[in-house]
Chains A and B, each alone.
Chain A
Amino acid sequence: MINVVKEGLVWMAAGPQGSGVDSAANIFGRACCYGGLNVYGKREYHSNIKGLHSYFHIRVLNREVFADVDRVDLLCSFDAESVVRHIFEVAPGGGVICDADALTTRIFDIPTWTQPFIEEFRNALDSKGIKPETVGDLLKEAGKDNVRTYAVPYMAILQEIAAEMGEEKLSKLTRMINVLALGASFGLVGYDKAPVEKAIRAVFGDKPKVISMNLLALNKAYEYATRKFGDFGYKLDTVPTDEKRIFIQGTQAAALGKLVGGCRLQTYYPITPAADESEYLEENEVLQLEQSAVKQSGGSILIMQTEDEIAAINMASGAALTGARAATATSGPGFSLMVEGLSWAGNSEVPVVVTYYQRGAPATGLPTRHGQSDLRFAIHAAHGEFPRIVMCSGDIEECFYDAARAFNYAERYQMPVIHLIDKALANSNRSCRVFDPSLVRIERGQLLTEADVKGKEYRRYQMTESGISPRLPLGTPGTVFWNTGDEHDELGHISEEPVMRTRMYEKRMKKLEIADREIPVQERVNFFGDQDASATVVSWGSPKGAILEAMKRLRQEGYSMNFVQVRMPHPLPSEYIAEVLGKAKKKIAVEGNYTAQLAGIIAEKTRIAMDFFLLKWNGRPMSSDEVYEALKLIMQDKSPKRQVLTHGT
């Protein structure tokens, strides 16, 4: 019997979209969390509403989990396709929960296959030398590798439930197949039922009838599994804990950071995977305030769904002019539309924040899948030269703190700030320590009030030593100012005079140098690992978790490494990075793109070239296993210069 608490369990819910994969995973994750365990969940779905395949990985451990692994211990499938798609991922000793009625389904009769999948699957069968006709045949073959099948008669159990409830229409109950599969999963691993019931109540909220139906389904399947199956090698136990943890996804973390950071107006145009953030904010538009804010008559955040992303960025800039902290959230195609507006904000020195959720690109690319190919775009987007700050978060906690901090940078330096997140973080549900809002400090930079300008001439773009001109909210009584997208004088009126042009341009650009000097390096990079290690990994964004886990395993095997996680690629803390890389014999770039964009920027700024590249662009996040294997090859001097990672289904 494998003690799951120690080794971890990787559970996968898989089924057609619309069949409750998400809610099953949500219940599973919460149930584990309620029992004191830690979870990391990864969601994969097609750009489709109903019918195409989707799955949710949940990795359960008794410590904080930062990344996914390649294997699946328990595949919890709702339909025949899910078995076929994922069977070869199930680890020896693992199991497959499946619909008993799906065993006779002929593999190549499944209607949702795409041609590339069929070709890949036939190749896989050929390489294994097997020729299964049906799902049952396939499972028998897997059994030879010690993968066990646990067939659950979903329809028969539903009929039983229907009879007990006096419900005549069975079709009304089929949406509970997910909870049957879930119940069987928990029965199989012998988990305590109480936290599962609690999770069902939490997920189905205020619908008592739905809750009681689902509790019935849970119990039936749980009992069926305990009664029928006794040979599964994993046991999942609850663990007592006092630590306060939350179960949260990246979009929610960023939203919470924005609220604490004082964002009061957010615009958005619907796009995957960014829209979840704005919707969560809108659900919570009326804000709770701290005791110290009793004098205020109430706080709120205004969420505007705009007609397009062009409106989204410009509306946010319009709001930011009035002194409100304002942001927009989007993904690659939306950001592409925003770039002219970004240029205006840069030229007019508007502190607007763009939360940029990267996904598979270019064009529509892989709209629901992972990608990290927009770093250079974020840094260079829009015509002309103007200062901006680009930040990128490496995990869900960073999403929270960075989202809050982005506004400080934007206001202090009066420039657009782009906060890069990626789909792997956006759609990962993780248990993590409760965020600590008291760690957030709000710095508004040189922000003037009515009293400051009373009886004085106000120049919005006053020339100063630092390049930063004191800012006044538009609408402040007692004076006026002008903004323009044209080059301008100190008052904000159009000016094409060459001397003014030279000075105003320089004034704007200088702010980036000030930001580079003032922002401490601790806010811009994280350093992990052994100071004197001879190998240094450089990365950004969501690969952080996989890299840290891989390094931990490698350290146990005696390989000493360190890791520079870049959180501010622009302006790049190049001196620091050059110093660390200068000591490294093996310099390794790990990125979710084809061209190693961060490595290119580092080479540009430090003239230091990386030695090895671990790159991935198949639309799936990096797993800690594949990063571990690739890094190990490098440490063993067996690696080519460039390794392409391909894990994921």
Chain B
Amino acid sequence: MALKLADYRTSVFVDWCPGCGDFGILSAVQMALVDMELAPSGVAIFSGIGCHAKLPHFVNVYGVHTLHGRTLPFAVGAKLARPDLEVIAVMGDGDGLGIGAGHFVNTGRRNIDMAVLIHDNGVYGLTKGQASPTLKLGVRTKSLPKANINEGVNPIALALASGYTFIARSYAYDVHHLKDTIKKAIQHHGLAVIIIQQPCPTYNNINTKDWYSGEDRVDPETGKPTPRLYKLEDSGYDGVVRRPEEAFEKYAAALAKAQEWGDRIPMGVFYQNELVSTYEERISKRIPTYLQNPPSRQLISDSEGKPLTSIKKMLEDLQVTGFEA
């Protein structure tokens, strides 16, 4: 029987602020799971700390709400111990790119087959609106005593430099685009990250829904707003690496594209390269039985509790007396 959206919901009250971009992200995640017909028990969503982090409690799949900034280590540990699990890591911008930046970079190097979603609203919502690492220099959102004194990090460029093999941007209020991008990220063979632009109606009064849709830039001729967000695929951009020799060219193009912000903000897939080996493949080269019998599936004792691991050979290598004549 086909699963319905209701099968991916829980009875937990969704307690985000009215108008929060997180609602769109939650819907898109649930819709992607329905479309992909993924059984709830085959999926695990990991989150960090912050507004985004409540998301797993609202989705009826395995949900692990971890520590501030530590989503990726938890997710990686579970994924590598049980590689058939579909793992989705959701993080905030402060969570994933501030306190957890080291994990963001180093997970990129591993290219593990899982999807990372970054809720990017430019502020630390749950602690009442401090500047997050993605907030641009000089911007003063409403609860900041002073304008932001730091430059914002460019998450797309950082993901590229770190080795993510699928890098996309989407928008919390374009639920269909987001859902399709999440599906692509899950289907991607390797480590995928989506930077999700997300208005925070409570604390970010600069990068608002109206700002993204360009309500401040009404075309005098048509009388219509000029949206800031545009779709890469509509502009003829193609970030998919299909042959090894075009990897650098596509990487460079993605890096250039990642610089666009402000008047025109690209959405869609910046870069995708499935020619890079995944961590699981790298392990399998060393441990041929890894995928059939990963850490979580190995029997370690018999029915009486006798260990099944033999260290006989290792002890023989250490043995110094009592050799058989």
Please name the residue on chain B nearest to A308 by beta carbon.
Answer: B102
Which parts of B51-86 form the interface with A (CB within 8 Å)?
A: 54, 56-57, 60-67, 70, 72-82, 84-85
Q: Are B321 and A243 in contact (CB under 8 A)?
A: yes
Partner of B67, one of A287, A344, A479: A344
Asked if A153 CB lies within 8 Å of chain B CBs, one says no
Rounded to whole Å, the gap between the CB of B281 and the closest CB of chain A is 14
Asked if A480 CB lies within 8 Å of chain B CBs, one says yes
Count of A-B contacts judged by CB separation below 8 Å: 270
Which parts of A316-368 form the interface with B (CB within 8 Å)?
A: 316-326, 340-341, 344
In the bound assembly, the distance between CA atoms of A444 and B304 in angstroms comes to: 11
In the bound assembly, the distance between CA atoms of A285 and B284 in angstroms comes to: 12
Rounded to whole Å, the gap between the CB of B195 and the closest CB of chain A is 21
Rounded to whole Å, the gap between the CB of A472 and the closest CB of chain B is 10
Which parts of A439-467 form the interface with B (CB within 8 Å)?
A: 440-444
Asked if A619 CB lies within 8 Å of chain B CBs, one says no
Please give, as numbers and ranges, the residues of chain B lying within 8 Å of A252 by CB-CB distance.
318
Q: Are A288 and B309 in contact (CB under 8 A)?
A: yes
Asked if A126 CB lies within 8 Å of chain B CBs, one says no
Partner of B306, one of A319, A441, A473, A494: A441
Partner of A315, one of B12, B73, B105: B73
Asked if A225 CB lies within 8 Å of chain B CBs, one says no
Partner of A322, one of B295, B300, B307: B295
Please give, as numbers and ranges, the residues of chain A lying within 8 Å of B146 by CB-CB distance.
none
Q: Are B309 and A322 in contact (CB under 8 A)?
A: no
Please give, as numbers and ranges, the residues of chain B lying within 8 Å of A261 by CB-CB distance.
300, 307
Please name the residue on chain B nearest to A265 by beta carbon.
Answer: B295
In the bound assembly, the distance between CA atoms of A474 and B288 in angstroms comes to: 24
In the bound assembly, the distance between CA atoms of A244 and B44 in angstroms comes to: 49
Q: Are B320 and A300 in contact (CB under 8 A)?
A: no
Please give, as numbers and ranges, the residues of chain B lying within 8 Å of A292 by CB-CB distance.
302, 306, 308
Q: Are B315 and A318 in contact (CB under 8 A)?
A: no
Asked if A499 CB lies within 8 Å of chain B CBs, one says no
In the bound assembly, the distance between CA atoms of A288 and B309 in angstroms comes to: 6
Binds A, one of B34-42, B181-189, B240-248: B34-42
Rounded to whole Å, the gap between the CB of A323 and the closest CB of chain B is 5
Known: A285-B287, A474-B62, A475-B82. A259 touches B311 (CB 8 A): yes
Binds B, one of A137-145, A481-489, A501-509, A569-577: A481-489
Asked if B322 CB lies within 8 Å of chain A CBs, one says yes
Q: Are B65 and A246 in contact (CB under 8 A)?
A: no
Known: A293-B299, A297-B292, A485-B65. A438 touches B70 (CB 8 A): no
Asked if A33 CB lies within 8 Å of chain B CBs, one says yes
Q: Are A296 and B76 in contact (CB under 8 A)?
A: no
Q: Are B321 and A325 in contact (CB under 8 A)?
A: no
Known: A311-B73, A322-B81, A322-B82. A442 touches B41 (CB 8 A): no
Binds B, one of A92-100, A429-437, A542-550: A429-437
Rounded to whole Å, the gap between the CB of B208 and the closest CB of chain A is 28
In the bound assembly, the distance between CA atoms of A301 and B295 in angstroms comes to: 7
Partner of B62, one of A262, A287, A319, A481: A481
Partner of B309, one of A248, A289, A321: A289
Please give, as numbers and ranges, the residues of chain A lying within 8 Å of B306 by CB-CB distance.
290, 292, 438, 441-442
Please give, as numbers and ranges, the residues of chain B lying within 8 Å of A325 by CB-CB distance.
300
Q: Are B77 and A262 in contact (CB under 8 A)?
A: no
Asked if A245 CB lies within 8 Å of chain B CBs, one says yes
Q: Are A246 and B315 in contact (CB under 8 A)?
A: yes
Asked if B223 CB lies within 8 Å of chain A CBs, one says no
Render A259-284 as a binary contact track against B, CB cut-off 8 A, 1 for contact: 11110110100000000000000001
- Give the size of the chain B interface in residues (CB under 8 angstroms): 70
Known: A298-B293, A306-B106, A479-B41. A315 touches B321 (CB 8 A): no
Please give, as numbers and ranges, the residues of chain B lying within 8 Å of A378 by CB-CB distance.
none
Please name the residue on chain A nearest to B106 by beta carbon.
Answer: A307
Render B236-267 as a binary contact track against A, CB cut-off 8 A, 1 for contact: 00000000000000000000000000000000
Partner of B57, one of A324, A340, A493: A493
Q: Are A262 and B309 in contact (CB under 8 A)?
A: yes
Rounded to whole Å, the gap between the CB of B90 and the closest CB of chain A is 14
In the bound assembly, the distance between CA atoms of A189 and B66 in angstroms comes to: 62
Known: A245-B322, A318-B73, A319-B295. A311 touches B80 (CB 8 A): no
Asked if A476 CB lies within 8 Å of chain B CBs, one says yes
Please give, as numbers and ranges, the residues of chain A lying within 8 Å of B222 by CB-CB distance.
none
Known: A298-B293, A323-B296, A485-B66. A256 touches B78 (CB 8 A): no
Q: Are A259 and B309 in contact (CB under 8 A)?
A: yes
Please give, as numbers and ranges, the residues of chain B lying within 8 Å of A284 by CB-CB distance.
314
Please give, as numbers and ranges, the residues of chain A lying within 8 Å of B64 by CB-CB distance.
318, 321, 474, 482-484
Please give, as numbers and ranges, the residues of chain B lying within 8 Å of A444 by CB-CB distance.
301
Asked if A589 CB lies within 8 Å of chain B CBs, one says no
Q: Are A265 and B80 in contact (CB under 8 A)?
A: yes
A interface majority secondary structure = mixed
Known: A242-B322, A300-B293, A321-B78. A287 touches B309 (CB 8 A): yes
Please give, as numbers and ranges, the residues of chain A lying within 8 Å of B290 by CB-CB distance.
300, 302
Please give, as numbers and ranges, the residues of chain A lying within 8 Å of B315 by CB-CB distance.
246, 256, 434-435
In the bound assembly, the distance between CA atoms of A139 and B84 in angstroms comes to: 68
Partner of A30, one of B74, B103, B310, B320: B320
Partner of A480, one of B63, B81, B82, B322: B63
A: contact size bracket: 35 or more
Asked if B127 CB lies within 8 Å of chain A CBs, one says no
Please give, as numbers and ranges, the residues of chain A lying within 8 Å of B314 by CB-CB distance.
256, 259, 284
Please give, as numbers and ranges, the residues of chain B lying within 8 Å of A640 by CB-CB distance.
none
In the bound assembly, the distance between CA atoms of A432 and B301 in angstroms comes to: 26
Please name the residue on chain B nearest to A252 by beta carbon.
Answer: B318
Rounded to whole Å, the gap between the CB of A25 and the closest CB of chain B is 14
Which of B288, B310, B319 is the most central at the interface, judged by chain A CB atoms within 10 Å of its CB?
B310
In the bound assembly, the distance between CA atoms of A476 and B289 in angstroms comes to: 21
Asked if A104 CB lies within 8 Å of chain B CBs, one says no
Please give, as numbers and ranges, the residues of chain B lying within 8 Å of A315 by CB-CB distance.
73-74, 76-77
Render B5-36 as a binary contact track against A, CB cut-off 8 A, 1 for contact: 00000101000000000000000000000000
Q: Are A302 and B62 in contact (CB under 8 A)?
A: no
Asked if B147 CB lies within 8 Å of chain A CBs, one says no
Which parts of B93-134 form the interface with A (CB within 8 Å)?
A: 102-103, 105-106
Q: Are A246 and B320 in contact (CB under 8 A)?
A: yes
Asked if B298 CB lies within 8 Å of chain A CBs, one says yes
Render B156-198 as a binary contact track against A, CB cut-off 8 A, 1 for contact: 0000000000000000000000000000000000000000000
Partner of A485, one of B67, B84, B305: B67
Rounded to whole Å, the gap between the CB of A541 and the closest CB of chain B is 23
In the bound assembly, the distance between CA atoms of A357 and B310 in angstroms comes to: 25
Please give, as numbers and ranges, the residues of chain A lying within 8 Å of B319 by CB-CB distance.
244-246, 434
Rounded to whole Å, the gap between the CB of B295 and the closest CB of chain A is 4
Rounded to whole Å, the gap between the CB of A483 and the closest CB of chain B is 5
Known: A259-B311, A441-B306. A302 touches B73 (CB 8 A): no
Which of B49, B62, B75 is the most central at the interface, judged by chain A CB atoms within 10 Å of its CB?
B62
Please name the residue on chain B nearest to A198 by beta carbon.
Answer: B320
In the bound assembly, the distance between CA atoms of A321 and B79 in angstroms comes to: 10
Asked if A36 CB lies within 8 Å of chain B CBs, one says yes
Partner of B73, one of A306, A440, A493: A306
In the bound assembly, the distance between CA atoms of A494 and B153 in angstroms comes to: 32
Known: A441-B305, A482-B65. A318 touches B320 (CB 8 A): no
Please give, as numbers and ranges, the residues of chain A lying within 8 Å of B73 by CB-CB distance.
306, 310-312, 314-315, 318
Q: Are A493 and B287 in contact (CB under 8 A)?
A: no
Q: Can you name 17 extra interface pairs (CB under 8 A) apart from A287-B310, A302-B290, A480-B61?
A: A247-B320, A256-B311, A262-B309, A265-B81, A288-B310, A296-B293, A298-B289, A298-B293, A300-B295, A302-B295, A311-B76, A314-B70, A319-B77, A437-B307, A440-B307, A475-B82, A493-B12
15 cross-chain CB contacts under 8 A: A246-B319, A288-B312, A298-B287, A300-B290, A302-B80, A310-B70, A312-B73, A314-B77, A322-B81, A324-B298, A326-B77, A344-B67, A437-B310, A474-B85, A475-B78
Interchain residue pairs A-B with the least CB separation, the first 3: A318-B77, A262-B300, A298-B289
